[in-house]
Amino acid sequence: MTWSEMQPLLSQACWDTLYMVGWSTLLAVVGGLPLGVLLVLTDRGGLLQNIVVNKVVGVVVNIGRSLPFIILMVALIPFTRSIVGTTIGPEAAIVSLAVGAIPFFARLVETSVREVDHGLVEAVQAMGGSTWTVVRKALLPESLPSVVAGLTTTVIALIGYSAMAGAVGAGGLGDVAIRYGYQRFETDLMLITVGVLVVIVTAVQLTGDLAARRLSKRGRSVSAGTRWRILSRPAPGATTINP
Give residue 168's pLDDT. Answer: 73
Distance (Å, whole) CA 99 – CA 230: 39
What is the arithmetic mean of pLDDT over 134-140?
A: 88
What is the arithmetic mean of pLDDT over 197-219?
A: 89
pLDDT band of 217, cuts 50, 70, 90: confident
What is the arithmetic mean of pLDDT over 166-184?
A: 80
Distance (Å, whole) CA 17 – CA 130: 42
CA distances from 85 to 88, 89, 152 (A): 9, 11, 30
Q: Is the pLDDT of residue 133 over 70?
A: yes
Q: Is the pLDDT of residue 243 over 50?
A: no
What is the arithmetic mean of pLDDT over 219-230?
A: 52
Q: Is the pLDDT of residue 18 over 90?
A: yes
pLDDT greater at residue 118 or residue 24: 24
Give residue 242's pLDDT. Answer: 45
Kindly report the CA angle at 223 between 214 and 34, in degrees rounded to 5? 75
Give residue 221's pLDDT. Answer: 54
Per-position DSSP letters for 55-110, written without gaps between them: HHHHHHHHHHHHS-HHHHHHHTHHHHHHHHS-SSSHHHHHHHHHHHHHHHHHHHHH
Helix orientation angle between 187-232 and 3-41, rounded to the nearest 10 degrees: 30
Q: Which of 3-7, 57-61, 161-165, 222-226 has the lowest mean pLDDT?
A: 222-226
Number of helices (H) and strands (E) in the chain: give both, helices first: 10, 0
User: Tens digits of per-residue pLDDT, 138-166?
Assistant: 899 889 999 999 999 999 999 999 888 88
Q: What percent of the chain has pLDDT over 70?
A: 89
pLDDT greater at residue 22 or residue 124: 22
CA distances from 40 to 4, 32, 45, 56, 111 (A): 53, 13, 9, 13, 9
Give residue 203's pLDDT. Answer: 95
Distance (Å, whole) CA 158 – CA 222: 33
Q: Is the pLDDT of residue 3 over 80?
A: no
